[in-house]
Amino acid sequence: MTETLEDTVESVEQLATAWRGLVLDASPTADVRDLPGVAVRWAESRFPFWNCLTLTEVGVDPALLDQRLGEAARIMRGKSRPGHLWLFEDLLDDAARRALPEAADRAGLTRAFSGMGMSADVPDGAAPEHPRLTFERVTTDEQLEAYADLNSRAYGFALEDGRDGLNGSELWKAGVHAYLALRDGVPVSAAATMECAGRLFVALVATAPEAQRQGFGEAVTRRALHEGARATGLTRATLHATAAGAPVYRRIGFRPNSPLHFYVPTP
């Protein structure tokens, strides 16, 4: 197995492990089955990120890809809330990669957006600062709602949907190292890290639309990584980036592994 493929497998395993805990926190009755080749992590939450599936096998050929995409589409269409299939391209063999667009069409799936898996060694040094920001760890319901609202605004969800995914969570106020970045006392960006199978997993990084492209997302991510590493002693981190977010994480030191595609059922 090549180093890049090893990083991809790590990325898939981190998603399956981290999302199990996160969706069960959102809904104790969440569907968290590990089926042959498909990990289901579905909370039936109004927050779409808590409803996901991912393919898990290495070396998937075109025939198996057709089978797995069909299974994923059937599961998603049987749910009451929308979500995404997360597909790591490097799990596919060369023929399956070429066949992916047609295979998705046959399964009734449409690519919503793309990104990539990434990993890094956590930077050493003093706690990161920013001249225009202060940082607060999320420990109260009010802070957690602000964190949820930043994600809703950044990703185009209704505020009530983001709140449905996070409000009332004791995990996010205590077990997750979730941080808000504030400019003049107003939350403008957010990032979180959590311990996951010997690594720090970076989750739900978001910046208010009017505050983007000012380095705030990078700053709060650095702070969440620093505080998570200091609390846990972990020195390796993983994340899943959108195409827009990937350059930010590269500046921090994250290296890409597999292209990552997010699919939804075709209307």
Residue 98: which H helix or E strand, with range?
A: helix 94-107
| pLDDT given at position 1 | 64
**Domains of the chain by residue range:** 3-117+260-265, 134-234
| pLDDT given at position 148 | 98
- pTM, whole model, 2 decimals? 0.94
Give the residue among 192, 212, 207, 218 at the shortest CA–CA distance from 130: 218
Find out whether 119 and 257 touch, Cβ atoms under 8 Å. Answer: yes
| pLDDT given at position 2 | 73
**What amino acid is encoded at 125 in this protein?**
G
Query: What DSSP line would sit under 205-234, residue for residue?
Result: EEE-GGG-SSSHHHHHHHHHHHHHHHHH--
CA pair distance 18, 229, nearest whole angstrom: 17
Residues of the chain with pLDDT below 70 are 1
CA 264 to chain centre: 16
Q: What is the pLDDT of residues 21-68, one digit of tens each?
A: 999 999 999 999 999 999 999 999 999 999 999 999 999 999 999 999
Sheet (strand 84-88) strand order: 34-35, 38-42, 51-55, 84-88, 255-265, 109-121, 236-242, 199-207, 186-196, 177-183, 134-137
3-state secondary structure of 132: coil
Taking the CB of residue 18, how many other CB atoms lie within 10 A of it?
21
Domain 134-234 has CATH 3.40.50.2030: no
